[in-house]
Structure 1
Amino acid sequence: MNELKSVTFKPTDILQDPFRIELPEQHLAPFLFNAPHSGRCYTQEFRQSSRLTEAELRSSEDAFVDKLFSKAPECGAPLMAANFPRAYLDLNREPYELDPTMFKEPLPSYAKSSGARVGSGLGTIARIVSERKEIYREKLGLQEGLDRIDSLYKPYHQALRRQMAMTHVEFGYACLIDCHSMPSRVLRNANPSIRPDIILGDRYGTSCHASLTSAAKGILTHLGFKVDMNRPYAGGFITQHYGRPIKGLHALQIEIDRSLYMDEDTLTPVAHFEELVTLFGTFTELLMQSASDAMLPSAAAAE
């Protein structure tokens, strides 16, 4: 399990290697797996600018989600993952969802400076982590924020769009599985007998063909998970932005209860973590086998 522990990188590492794409030997089905919030590269510069401990900063991570889906390339699908953390830059937001109270200078006119996510401190550059803890000691320079978007956000989404486009060209359609995790406290009031282990988000049926959602839910249920749909996570910016079923572009978000696979206080994997990796590998393989012509652009348009 040592390879799953946090590693501190040098400040230049996130610019030199901001994300990775693990490609299969052969792309066997029109699927792409994405883990935008599992990055754990905390630079010295970022940590010094924060009033929080590294453990507190890491509370916003979808820790180890990239590891849970690490068998995707073996199954024949690319796996894309950020190396920088969500607390530094959130890829599951619009590019310029910025909180004006965070910056020393006024925001540019094109910034989206209002809305629920910005107001709650969870914009493209977050003001808080979980439990509403303020990240920064002082306000950021506007250029620093814009530089993060230019050097990290835009290249990531450019690469993601390219992977989707190549998959679409090769197979006639593309399915993006956007992989996340949720704090167990989100569902602490739910009835234990029906409390979901996993929540699938398809933007209430608008981000992917119904057959993809149905297959994912059926497979996960068969594997022993309790699965719910869209509440409280219907899918974020990535699911909404990349899901265009009528064009043969499908996006489905998956949220996994963190307590299933790690100790949320120490951010360490559970003893049976590798068994879960194998289980999600089985899910990946079976989901890829569920691909059907119903997800082609012409089929989606005809419905």
Structure 2
Amino acid sequence: MSPQTPALFTLHQPSVPQLPLVCDSPHSGTTYPADFQTVLPLSELRAAEDTHVEALWGAAPALGATLLEAHFPRSYLDLNRSLDDIDPALLDGPWPAPLSPGEKTRLGSGLIWRSVKGLPLYDRPLSVAEVQARIERCYRPYHAALSDAVAQTQARFGAVWHLNLHSMPNNAYERLQIKSPHPLADFVLGDRDGSTCEPAFVALVEAHLRAKGYTVARNDPYKGVALIARIGQPALNRHSLQIEIRRPIYMDEQTRERSADFGTVQRDITELLQAIAGYLRAHPALRAEQD
């Protein structure tokens, strides 16, 4: 990569003794590639960003965790989708492998987004070659870095915990076309209905956030998608939890600017990371591996 080419992602290594904790923020990127030829203005595109999530969790390396953050936007390529989750109607020709577009693709937000807030991103079909180029340039290197971090951490400690970090719009239910009898929680913890993470870890995160005064839901409306589904295998001592934060509690959704409460939310998350660090240091699976 030449010095003039913006970095696609940054892997922040622990700056103190390492914990068996890997965090990744795949949707907080704000650097828009030059070849992203969309008809939408930046003001509309930014509604797709998980803006500032990497900063909310920025204390992770100083507490012993690894933190990976993407710099390109999810509307260009969504790292939390599988490689076959592509809308064939977006393409100018047949894809060279079988496709399996899912519900997110139906809503316009598959591997390659079709729309933001219902507004079309493109006035033309995308060439198969340009989509393949995005995958090779962005998707594969990010996933390789995350996979390596998870594998190396587990090899060292015998177990690994992964936090997949996101934020959600205040009208998430509406965007997902879900009718809910209750308002959106401040934090949504997704473990794919209990299948990707040990219950005690999820309970620790929930209890800490509730003690800080936040509302917390599990798997409603976000259960977690491709990343935690691949990483989270509790039977193999691999635990993965998706954490969504309701955007208005820390920023202005229209301007994307940090609100006056940003520092409070950031501090509360840092204290959550401290609680997680204590939990992991005392975890019996690690003691068993280290003895």
| Shared fold (TM-score, shorter chain, > 0.5) | yes
Query: For residue 133 of structure 1, what is the aligned residue in structure 2?
Result: 119
Q: Secondary structure at the match of 2:196?
A: coil
Q: Does 1:202 align with 2:194?
A: no
Query: For residue 60 of structure 2, what is the aligned residue in structure 1?
Result: 72
> What letter matches 1:13 in structure 2?
T
The question of whether the paired residues in 2 share the 8 Å contact of 1:202 and 1:234 is answered with yes
* Bigger shift: residues 26-35 or 229-238: 26-35
Q: Does 1:256 align with 2:248?
A: no
Quote the Cα distance in structure 2 between the aligned partners of 1:128 and 1:154. 23
Alignment counterpart, residue 13 of structure 1, candidates 5, 22, 26: 5
Alignment counterpart, residue 22 of structure 1, candidates 4, 9, 12: 12
* Bigger shift: residues 149-158 or 274-283: 274-283
> What letter matches 2:114 in structure 1?
R
CA-CA distance at 1:107 after TM superposition: 1.3
Q: Does 1:183 align with 2:169?
A: yes
Quote the Cα distance in structure 1 between the aligned partners of 2:214 and 2:200. 19
Alignment counterpart, residue 108 of structure 2, candidates 118, 121, 124: 121
The question of whether the paired residues in 2 share the 8 Å contact of 1:245 and 1:295 is answered with no
Quote the Cα distance in structure 2 between the aligned partners of 1:87 and 1:100. 17
Which 5+ residue runs of structure 1 have no aligned equivalent? 1-9
Quote the Cα distance in structure 1 between the aligned partners of 2:190 and 2:238. 15
CA-CA distance at 1:190 after TM superposition: 5.3
Alignment counterpart, residue 155 of structure 1, candidates 127, 141, 148: 141
Quote the Cα distance in structure 1 between the aligned partners of 2:125 and 2:217. 40
Quote the Cα distance in structure 2 between the aligned partners of 1:144 and 1:118. 18
Query: For residue 177 of structure 2, what is the aligned residue in structure 1?
Result: none
The question of whether the paired residues in 1 share the 8 Å contact of 2:15 and 2:63 is answered with no
TM-score (norm 1): 0.87
> What letter matches 2:93 in structure 1?
E
* Bigger shift: residues 246-255 or 24-33: 24-33
Query: For residue 288 of structure 1, what is the aligned residue in structure 2?
Result: 277
Q: Does 1:81 align with 2:69?
A: yes
The question of whether the paired residues in 2 share the 8 Å contact of 1:209 and 1:295 is answered with no
CA-CA distance at 1:28 after TM superposition: 3.3
Residues 76-115 of structure 1 aligned to structure 2 (within 5 Å): 76-112=64-100, 114-115=101-102
* Bigger shift: residues 166-175 or 286-295: 286-295
Q: Secondary structure at the match of 1:175?
A: strand
Structure 1 residues 161, 281: closer, same or farther in 2, change over 3 A? Answer: same
Q: Does 1:211 align with 2:204?
A: no
Structure 1 residues 161, 219: closer, same or farther in 2, change over 3 A? Answer: same
Query: Number of residue pairs matched?
Result: 281
The question of whether the paired residues in 2 share the 8 Å contact of 1:211 and 1:294 is answered with no
Q: Deviations over 1:208-261 (max 9, x none)?
A: 111111111111112221111001101111111110111111100000000001
Query: For residue 128 of structure 2, what is the aligned residue in structure 1?
Result: 142
The question of whether the paired residues in 2 share the 8 Å contact of 1:27 and 1:78 is answered with no
Q: Deviations over 1:125-159 (max 9, x none)?
A: 11111x21111121111100011111110111111
Q: Secondary structure at the match of 2:35?
A: helix
Quote the Cα distance in structure 2 between the aligned partners of 1:205 and 1:240. 11
Alignment counterpart, residue 21 of structure 2, candidates 31, 36, 58: 31
CA-CA distance at 1:39 after TM superposition: 0.4
The question of whether the paired residues in 2 share the 8 Å contact of 1:242 and 1:249 is answered with yes
TM-score (norm 2): 0.91
The question of whether the paired residues in 1 share the 8 Å contact of 2:86 and 2:111 is answered with yes
> What letter matches 1:140 in structure 2?
L
Which 5+ residue runs of structure 2 have no aligned equivalent? 175-179
> What letter matches 2:129 in structure 1?
Q
Query: For residue 5 of structure 1, what is the aligned residue in structure 2?
Result: none
Aligned structure 1 segments of 4 or more residues deviating by more than 3 angstroms:
187-192, 292-296
